Amino acid sequence: MGIRMDAIGMVVRDLEASLRFYRRLGIEIPAGQEGEDHVEAKLACGCRLMWDKVELVRSIDPGWVEPVGQRIGLAFRCDSPAEVDAKYAELTGLGYAGHMEPWDAFWGQRYAVLLDPDGNKVDLFAPL
């Protein structure tokens, strides 16, 4: 079978805040894991999205240094341009940071960018 992409991992400062944000984006994260150091969710594409607390990563790799700037970029496809607008409005209305308000991108997509609780860019997009 060979090598294949299986998981995307993120190191987070506040696991509960991160899980709340990604649940709002529609990721089905099993309930009751907020007290854990590591959480995984199976995505519709077949990959897993994983969250590790900073403390866990430092216990495994004592030399780990928290990165400055962008840690990872994730993009979520919406069913329609209207869903991009609605999801952006919902999350910014709940107090999550908006980075770029929805716009019609020259490459033919409705696009918006949010920031998750750790400052990672999270793109929302749909074909125009």
CATH number of the structural domain spanning residue 78: 3.10.180.10
Alpha helices in the chain (DSSP H): 15-24, 54-60, 81-93
Domains contained in the chain, number:
1
Give the model's pLDDT for residue 67.
84
Q: Report yes or no on 2 lying in a domain.
A: no
Average pLDDT value for residue range 28-34: 91
**Any domain includes 17:** yes
Which pLDDT value is given to residue 27? 95
Question: For the residues 14-27, what does the mean pLDDT come to?
Answer: 96
- The answer to whether residue 35 sits within a structural domain is yes
In a domain, 56, yes or no: yes
- Residue whose structure tokens are 């400052």: 119
pLDDT in tens, 40-66: 999 999 999 999 999 999 999 999 998
Q: What span, in angstroms and rounded, lies between the C-alpha atoms of 15 and 8?
A: 16
Q: What are the pLDDT digits (tens) for 57-94?
A: 999 999 999 888 776 889 999 999 999 999 999 999 99
Domain, as residue range, for 107: 7-127
Q: What pTM was estimated for this model as a whole?
A: 0.89
Residue 66: predicted pLDDT: 87
- Read off the pLDDT of residues 107-124 as tens digits, 9 standing for 90 and up: 999 999 999 999 999 999
